Structure 1
Amino acid sequence: MTGSDTSPSFRLAYVPGVTPTKWVRIWHERLPEVPLAVDGVSAAEAPGVLRGRGADAGLVRLPMDRTGLSAIPLYTETTVVIVPKDHVVAAVDEVCAADLADEVVLHPLDDTLEWERPPGLPAVERPATTADAVELVAAGVGLLVVPQSLARLHHRRDLTYRPVTDAPESRVALSWLEDETTDLVEQFIGIVRGRTVNSTRGRPAPASTPAPASASAAKPKSKPAPKPASRSAGGAGAGRRSGAGKPAKRGKPRRRS
C-alpha cells in the first residue's frame, strides 16, 4: 500500500479467464488522478500475491485458501468439456460427468475445479497447465473439463466445448487483505458491484440542497385577475342609459290637427 508521502496508486491482479477491461475503464473515468496497474497471475499464485502485498486487490477463483483474505463472490461460471469438433460429444447440447466415464479426461496441475473424484479415465501424466492440456485435446490425447471462460481463452478452430451439467463450478471473486480495506479498495468494490458514481459508500455524502418550506412556497405567485370594467365607464352599455343611469322618459305623441 502507499504511504501518506507518496501519490496514491492501485494495483489489481487477475487470474486467467477473467476480463477486467470494463472495470478498469470505469476506474479511469472516476479516478483519473489515481494510476491503476493490472497484472495477470495464475490462480494458484493469486492468494500469495495478495498476502505479500504484490497487489491491493485481485480477481480470483474460488475455492482458494482465504486465510487472511476477504473475498466477495461476483459470479459463477458454467463448467464445460473441451473436445475435438469431430468428437461424439460435439453432437449433443450438454453432457453429465457419467457420459465421460470411458474417456481420458486430462487433469492439469493448475485445475481450478474442486473435484471429489475427477470424471473419466486418468491420463498417464498430468499436464502442467491448462494451455498444455488444450494442446493435448487437439492432438486427440483426451478431453478437458474447465470453466467456460478458460475454454474461450484457449479457443481453437478445431475444438469446441459443451456444458457439463453436474460438474463443480468455479466462482470469480474480488479479494484483498482483510485488514487493509482502504478507501481505494472500497472504490473498486463499488465499481465491480455496479454502484453509481453518486453512491455515498466509501466517500463523504454530497451536500444536499435545502428543500422549499412548503409546496405552496415553491410555486410562483399568480397575478390577480383584472376586474371587469364598469358599464358606466363607457363601452357597449354606455349608450343605453342617460346621465344618472335612469332610463329616459318618452312623451306622448302629439295629434296632428
Structure 2
Amino acid sequence: MTEMQVNPSFRLAYVPGVTPGKWVRVWSERLPDVPLDLLAVPAGDGEGTLREGTADAGLVRLPVDRDVLSAIPLYTETTVVVFPKDHWLAAAEEVALGDLAEEVVFHPLDDSLGWPAGLPGRPAIERPASTADAVELVAANVGVLLVPQSLARLHHRKDLTFRPVAEAPQSQVGLAWPEDRTTDLVEEFIGIVRGRTVNSSRGRGAQPAAEPRKAAPPRKSQPQKGGQQKAGQHKGGQPKGRPKPAAGGRGAAAAKRGKPKRRS
C-alpha cells in the first residue's frame, strides 16, 4: 500500500551517463502542478542519496542494496574502450579483451563495471579518482579506459574515440527508491518509465475512464418508393380476396381451341 506524498515536488537523482529528459517531459505533461527537481550525483553516490532521503527516487547503476531499496532494471549498456584516435585499436570495428593484454588499462575509483574476473591488460601505477580523471590520462596517451558507452559520450573529446568490447562486463541502469517510501508520486514515475499510458497509470495523473456511449435508437422503417400499397391489394397488383385462375380452367381451354373454323 502506498502512502500519500507530502512533498510539494518530486526529487529525482541521476548518475553520470543517464539522461532522464524523455521521462521528465512526460512528467511535466501529466502532472504540470508538481515540479520535478533533478539532482545530479556522482556515480558512487546514487544509493547513498536515496538512503539519506535527499531524493524520492533515482536513476542509478545497479546493483543496489535490495534490503533497503526497491529497484526496476531499465536497460543494459554496451561497454567500450576509449583510446586516442591515432591508436592502433582504431583499425578494428570491435575489440576483444585479449587485444588489451599489453595495454595499460585504467581502473577509476568510480568504476561501474565491477570486473569480477579481474581487469584486463596491465594495471596503472594508481587508480584515477574519477572517470573524468582517467579520460585525461587516456588523452595523454598513457593508457586506455573501459566504460559504459554513455560515459564515453559524456566525456567525449576530439582527440579520442572508442570501440565496443566483446565479452566485457556491462553496466545496468535502473530506477531505485527507498522501499519504505513508495509514495503516490513514486508510483507515478514508475508508470512513466515503464511506458504506461495516462489511463493505465496507478498514480494521481490517471484520468477517469470515459463513460460508454449510449446505443443509438433503432431507425424507423421507411415506406418503399412508389407510395404506399393500396388497401385490399397484394404486392403483385391483384385485388385482395380474388383467387387467380386455376391452371386448366376456362381460360386454358379457350387458349387451346384457338380461332373458330370458317364453314364451307
Q: Do they fold alike, i.e. is TM over 0.5?
A: yes
Comparing 193-202 with 117-126, greater Cα deviation is found at 193-202
Q: 2:208 aligns with which of 206, 209, 214?
A: 206
- Give 2:169's aligned residue: 168
Partner of residue 28, structure 2:
28
What are the within-5 Å matches in structure 2 for residues 149-228 of structure 1?
149-203=150-204, 206-210=208-212, 212=214, 218=216, 220-226=218-224, 228=226
Q: CA deviation at 1:224?
A: 1.6
TM-score, structure 2 normalization: 0.79
Which residue of structure 1 aligns with residue 242 of structure 2? none
Q: Percent identity?
A: 66
Q: Distance in 1 between matches of 2:219 and 2:120?
A: 79
> Structure 1 residues 77 and 7 mapped into 2: Cα distance closer, same or farther (>3 Å)?
closer
1:30-45 counterparts in 2 under 5 A? 30-45=30-45
Q: Answer yes or no: is the 8 Å Cα contact 1:63–1:114 preserved in 2.
A: no
More moved, 109-118 vs 144-153: 109-118
Q: Structure 1 CA distance, aligned partners of 2:210 and 2:62? A: 41
User: Secondary structure in 1 aligned to 2:44?
Assistant: coil
For residues 19 and 221 of structure 1, do their structure 2 counterparts lie closer, same or farther at Cα, with a shift above 3 Å needed? same
Superposition deviation, residue 58 in structure 1: 0.2
1:61-80 matched pairs, under 5 angstroms: 61-80=61-80
Instruction: Give the superposed CA RMSD.
Output: 2.3
CA separation in 1, counterparts of 2:80 and 2:223?
77
Equivalent residue of 2:28, what SS?
Answer: helix
- The alpha-carbon distance between structure 1 residues 180 and 225, as it changes in their structure 2 partners (threshold 3 A), is same
Deviations 1:96-146 (A, max 9, x none): 111101100000000011102011100001100000000000001100000
Distance 2:66 2:60 in 1: 11
CA contact (8 A) 2:97 2:168 kept: yes
Alpha-carbon offset, residue 33 of structure 1: 0.4
Q: What TM-score does the superposition give when structure 1 sets the normalisation length?
A: 0.81
Inter-CA distance 229–167: structure 2 relative to 1 (3 Å threshold): closer
The aligned residue for residue 52 of structure 2 is: 52
Question: In 2, are the aligned partners of 1:47 and 1:66 still within 8 Å (CA)?
Answer: no
- Cα distance in 1 between the residues matched to 2:123 and 2:58: 32
Aligned positions of 1:71-110 closer than 5 A: 71-110=71-110
Give the conservation status (yes or no) of the 8 Å contact 2:13–2:46: yes
**Deviation above 4 Å: which 4+ runs of structure 1?**
3-7, 229-232
Deviation at 1:227, TM superposition (A): 6.2
SS at the partner of 2:163?
strand
- Amino acid of the residue matched to residue 129 of structure 1? S
Alpha-carbon distance in 1 for matches of 2:67, 2:152:
29
SS of 1:140 mapped into structure 2: coil
Cα distance in 1, alignment partners of residues 225 and 20 from structure 2: 71
SS in 1 for 2:166: coil
Cα distance in 2, alignment partners of residues 60 and 187 from structure 1: 18
Aligned AA (1:132): D
What residue in structure 2 maps to residue 142 of structure 1?
A: 143
Aligned length: 226
Equivalent residue number for residue 129 of structure 1: 130
* Structure 1: 5+ residue stretches without partners: 233-257
Please say which of residues 120-129 and 221-230 is displaced more in the overlay.
221-230
The alpha-carbon deviation at position 229 of structure 1 amounts to: 4.4
- Which amino acid counterpart does residue 216 of structure 2 have in structure 1? A
Taking structure 1 as reference, are residues 4 and 162 closer, same or farther at Cα in structure 2, changes over 3 Å only? closer
- Secondary structure of 1:176 counterpart: strand
Letter in 1 for 2:208: P
Give ranges in structure 2 of 5+ residues lacking alignment: 231-264
Q: Using the alignment, how far apart are the partners of 2:208 and 2:36 within structure 1?
A: 25
Query: Using the alignment, how far apart are the partners of 2:208 and 2:172 within structure 1?
Result: 35
How far apart in 1 are the matches of 2:52 and 2:139? 38
